[in-house]
Chains A and B, each alone.
Chain A
Amino acid sequence: MMRRVLAISLVCAIGALLVFTVSNYLLPFGTFPQRKFENFENQSVAQVYLENAPIAGAGGAGSANVVTSIVWDYRGYDTLGEATILFTAVCGVAMLFRAAKEED
């Protein structure tokens, strides 16, 4: 009983702190692309990606979907690493249940 009251009060405190952090005092909503840190007006990488991705030539990806061109063309190596993570998880699950099948 004491443990339950302690856990509920801790979760309420953390929740109140999080909601205060994202309220309009500290984090104004819809902040792309003008960030309010120093003088960081029009220098964002995402703006460069939005302008250059549909161009079918040098420096562009030639695809209509900007998110897919970021995932596969500009950052293709990270997606190869993610395919490795998927392969490792499948290997782990198959290995666990192969040991269970040969146990009996």
Chain B
Amino acid sequence: MNVDYIVAMLMISFGLYCLLIKRNLIKMVIGLEILTFGIHLFLISMGYREGGIAPIVTGTNPASVVATMGVDPLPQALVLTSIVIDVCVTAMLLSLAIYAYKHYKTLDTSELRRLKD
């Protein structure tokens, strides 16, 4: 019973729902963030080994134990990069939202669609 995969897919569905239904710009950005978190969770839990430990050599886990019982370290390195890229994209989105609020005095997308000056 793989709970990790199901929770990740539920998070993707919730993020997609929030992106489609809400009309406030900030709430749409929050929905995009939840979608990205679900994808990261799915990627990391793909590399799980049965009864695995963290891939770090310490006093109690010498190098031989880590080589036979450690989980997959490659998706963790990929997700580390992806988190930083997600932060940069969110910073650009939020600065554009601040700019739109300053110019049009509203954050509702059904009002912004008419592009009045």
Contacts and interface: CB of A to CB of B under 8 A. Distances in A.
Contacts of A12: 13
Interface residues of A, number: 48
The B interface, classified by DSSP as helix, strand, loop or mixed, is: helix
Interface string B61-73: 0010011001111
A59 interface: no
A11 interface: yes
Interface of A: 4, 7-8, 10-12, 14-15, 18-19, 21-24, 27-33, 45-47, 49-51, 54-55, 64-67, 70-71, 75, 78-79, 82, 85-86, 88-89, 92-93, 96-97, 100
Given A10-B20, A100-B99, 12 more contacts: A7-B20, A18-B12, A21-B9, A22-B2, A33-B49, A46-B47, A46-B73, A49-B73, A50-B55, A66-B70, A82-B84, A100-B102
Nearest to B45: A29
26 contacts: A7-B20, A7-B21, A8-B21, A11-B20, A12-B13, A15-B10, A18-B9, A21-B9, A22-B5, A24-B2, A30-B2, A30-B48, A32-B46, A32-B47, A45-B74, A46-B72, A46-B73, A50-B55, A51-B67, A54-B66, A64-B57, A65-B55, A67-B55, A75-B77, A92-B95, A96-B96
A64 B81 contact: no
Contact of A50 (B16, B58, B66, B96): B66
Contacts of A51: 67
A16 to B, nearest CB: 9
B30 interface: no
B5 to A, nearest CB: 4
B115 to A, nearest CB: 19
Contacts of B42: 22
A4 B10 CA distance: 19
Contacts of B67: 47, 50-51
Given A14-B16, A66-B55, A93-B92, A32 B73 contact: no
B91 interface: yes
Contacts of A88: 88
